[in-house]
Structure formats: C-alpha cells, structure tokens
Structure 1
Amino acid sequence: MNFARQNTVDDKAIVKEYFNATGFDRWRRIYGQGEVNKVQNDIRIGHQQTIDTVIEWLQADGNLAQISICDAGCGVGSLSIPLADAGARVYASDISEKMVGEAQEKAQAILKNTNNLSFAVEDLEALRGKYHTVICLDVLIHYPQEDAAQMIGHLASLAESRLILSFAPKTFFLSILKKIGEFFPGPSKTTRAYQHKESDIIKILEENGFAIKRTGMTSTRFYFSRILEAVKP
C-alpha cells in the first residue's frame, strides 16, 4: 500500500471538507473586511502582505497585460482579481467550491470586465494547460513534505516561464511555536499544518529546471510565509 499517496488523499479530503464548511466562514472573514479577533486580524495582515509582494514583483516586470497566469489555490480571489484588473489573463482554481463561489461574486462586484478571468473548482493535481506564470500561495501548508516534490513538479510542468510559491518555512523557532499551538487546539483548527525547509523547496524547483530569481518573507506575530519566484533560465 502506498502510504504517502493515501496520506495525500486523506489530507486533500480533509482540506476540501474544511473549506466547504466551518473553514469557509472563518477564512472568508479573515480574507475580507469583516470583524475578526486579534489573531485572525494578524493573519489577515500577513496574508495580504504576501499578496502585495507578489503583485509588486509582477507589476515591476511591466508585462502583466501580455501574460497568462494560473492562480492555483485562489481562495476568495485576493490575488486573482487584482491581477485580472491589471490586464493579465487569469485562470483561478481552488479545491473549495464555496471559496470559488465567493471569488466569483467578488470579481463580479469589483471588476468592470471579467472576460480575462475564469474560475474553476479543482485541486492542484487536476490542473491542466500551459501558462506563462503559475502561482501557488499558502497552499503547501496543507500537504506533507513527502508529497511536495510531486505537487511542485506538476505545477512546474504547467509554467512556461515562471513559478511563484509561498509556504510556511520550517525553522527551529517556528517548529517550537507550532508544537506549543498544538496544545491549544481551537474549534476551527481542523486541518494539519505542514512546514517545509526552504532548501528542500529550492532543490525541487531546480530539479524541475527552474532557478530562483526573487525571494521574500512575510513575518507577523502569527503568520509566516516564505515566497520564492523561480524562472526558467
């Protein structure tokens, strides 16, 4: 029996169920403008900083209106919508039907024209096609390290020029914080949280023909995300 594969399926099922149920309401509040507690507000600020960093990178290249982008794990459209508004052709997907529905409603309310933005309910492994840039932010935290190579390899096969990833970095300090947090489980903590060594992620990217171009780090009190932009030489 392939236990790694079984674990991936279990994690995927847990994530899908969570974000279509209690998790959807929690994260919609965090990603939105509604009232949240201090911890959730800190996570909201951190996640938005990660979004802002990626948008700044893409805008700095000055070619957004000429490229196609796959936003893998789009959530409620926090990245997809501003990129489409800037002129990029965006294909956005998420494993959660409720998340995708929320993203579509937001896009209709915000954008004057949504012809260059499409949404789909899909998990990472089901994605197909070719895109100039593939972006996957804050998704790897839901999957164990033993499956990261396969998942990143698949995303890399979709990217013609660039792959941008963010993940919870595995450091001694953050590992200790994670252990402490496990002693205080809240009702909304229903998914596993996996950290990844930056060196391991870089090695996987290099094995798939990509080189690191830019790096970033978002660090707040309760949100930590390492951002890597990898390009084909």
Structure 2
Amino acid sequence: MQVEGLQKLKESEKAEVATYFNGTGFERWNRIYSKSDEVNKVQKNIRIGHQKTVDDVLTWIKEIGEISDMSFCDAGCGVGSLCLPLVALGAGSVSASDISEAMVEETQRRAKIGGLDLNRLNFKISDLESLNGSFDTVICLDVFIHYPQKAAEEMVHHLCGLSKKSLIVSFAPYTPLLALLKTIGQFFPGPSKTTRAYILREKGIINAARACGFEVKRRKLNQAPFYFSQLIEFVKK
C-alpha cells in the first residue's frame, strides 16, 4: 500500500509539472530562457545562472574534440538551451525530450529559426521515467528540482542505464542556507513557486551513480541570486 501510495504521489506531481509547463510555466520560463527584456530581477538572475551551467557543459563537451560520431540525450530539454548549441557544435545526433509539449514545440521552432540540421535532432514529449535508448552522453540539467531525494537517486540509476560513456546532471544542492530559504519560502519567490522545488544531498546522487559503475570526473557549483546548481559529470569506469 505504501508503494502504491508513493507511486500515486509521483504521478500526481508529474501531472502538476506537465500542466504547469504547458501553461503559465511555459510562458514564464520561455521568457526567462530568451533575450526578452520582460523579466524581473529574480528571473534575470535565474537566466544568468542557468546559462552558466549550460556554458560549462558545452565547454566540457568541446574538450572531447570531434563529436560528429557521438550521440547525446538532453533529458528535460526545456526550450533548447543546451540541445540546440550541441547540434551547432557538430554533435552527431541529439535526442531532446521534455514532459511539456509546449517546450518541445518551442525547441523545434528555435531550431528551425536557427537553421540547424533537423536530421540530427530527435524530439520527444516524455517524462524522464519513460526515456529509453542508448547514448554516448546523457545530460539532465536543472530537472531534478522536481524530484525528492529518493526519486532523484532512482532517476540517476535510470539515466546511467541509458549512457554508454558519461552522465552530466545538475541539481539544487542541500545546504543549511538553502534549506532555510526553502523553509521560509524564498527559494523560488513569488509566482514561480507553482510547483514543488526539492534540494538534494550531493552524496546521495554520487552514490547512486557509483552503484551503476560511474565515477565523478568533475563538478562545479554555479550560483546567482535565486539560482543554485551543482553540476557533476560522471564517467563510466
């Protein structure tokens, strides 16, 4: 009964997230992850912080050198902040998925406007749990905010199972300060608190990856006011 109840809770939260990002959430985050001036100070700082995370991932991938024969999975692609630059860098193939149909459609729109090779992009409307396939590198940025600790660790197991070489994830790390901010309602101020936001203990995420045969290659903490993201690259042993 407890397991069934937990599953129902997960499905309930998943539906909540999908509804949010197909409606008001899409409008808000599409604006944040664009060059629009119609953002407040908090949203602008989130934009800056997220872009730091994306830029770090792209820098790490550039270090590989030739990636024309590599496959990538952008799990939770949003409006294409990562998958579109990946294609522009010359990635062989990129699978871009998101639970929000509106987000996937916007990513497709931006890809067309950018003149990218759509033959190297595969779009899918999907939650993380339903993703399948095999990729050289799996990347999941700032999506774990929707997963409590145990579920996030289970998701690390799932994503490791899709990766042949490496896994890159980012999440809001647990710190006493963030825990306090979350408790008093300032972690995501104002109307952005439409969905639940979880902060995660890094040790649990690392141990989950290690259990799948992956080790930490490098990590970086990116932060801006109202944006805190621990970025970790795992490589398969």
* TM norm. shorter chain > 0.5: yes
Counterpart check, 1:115 vs 2:119: yes
CA contact (8 A) 2:187 2:226 kept: no
* Corresponding residue of 1:166: 170
Deviations 1:170-197 (A, max 9, x none): 0101111112225996334210000101
Once the 2 structures are TM-superposed, how far is the Cα of residue 109 of structure 1 from its aligned partner? 0.5
* Corresponding residue of 1:68: 71
SS of equivalent residue, structure 2 residue 190: coil
Distance 1:4 1:159 in 2: 27
CA contact (8 A) 1:74 1:92 kept: yes
Change (3 A) 1:183 1:96: closer
SS of equivalent residue, structure 1 residue 115: helix
* Corresponding residue of 1:83: 86
- The normalised TM-score by structure 1 is 0.96
Deviations 1:155-176 (A, max 9, x none): 1100001000000000101111
Once the 2 structures are TM-superposed, how far is the Cα of residue 64 of structure 1 from its aligned partner? 2.0
Distance 2:59 2:152 in 1: 26
Distance 2:117 2:27 in 1: 27
Distance 1:130 1:111 in 2: 27
Q: In structure 1, give the amino acid aligned to 2:8.
A: Q
Deviations 1:125-164 (A, max 9, x none): 1111100000000000001112122211111100001000
* Corresponding residue of 1:32: 34
Once the 2 structures are TM-superposed, how far is the Cα of residue 13 of structure 1 from its aligned partner? 0.8
Unmatched 5+ residue regions in structure 1?
Answer: none
CA contact (8 A) 1:214 1:229 kept: yes
Q: In structure 1, give the amino acid aligned to 2:229.
A: S
Distance 2:116 2:124 in 1: 20
Equivalent of 2:14 in 1, 5, 12: 12
Once the 2 structures are TM-superposed, how far is the Cα of residue 94 of structure 1 from its aligned partner? 0.1
Once the 2 structures are TM-superposed, how far is the Cα of residue 86 of structure 1 from its aligned partner? 1.0
User: How many pairs does the alignment contain?
Assistant: 233
- Alignment of structure 1 residues 197-208 onto 2, 5 Å: 197-208=201-212
Deviations 1:69-89 (A, max 9, x none): 000000000100000111111
Distance 2:8 2:175 in 1: 27
- The normalised TM-score by structure 2 is 0.95
Matched-pair identity in %: 52
* Corresponding residue of 1:41: 44
* Corresponding residue of 1:178: 182
* Corresponding residue of 2:23: 21
RMSD: 1.4
Q: In structure 2, give the amino acid aligned to 1:158.
A: L
Once the 2 structures are TM-superposed, how far is the Cα of residue 52 of structure 1 from its aligned partner? 0.2
Distance 1:39 1:216 in 2: 22
Distance 2:188 2:232 in 1: 31
Unmatched 5+ residue regions in structure 2?
Answer: none
* Corresponding residue of 2:129: 125
* Corresponding residue of 1:192: 196
Distance 1:147 1:4 in 2: 10
* Corresponding residue of 2:220: 216
Once the 2 structures are TM-superposed, how far is the Cα of residue 226 of structure 1 from its aligned partner? 0.1
* Corresponding residue of 2:105: 101
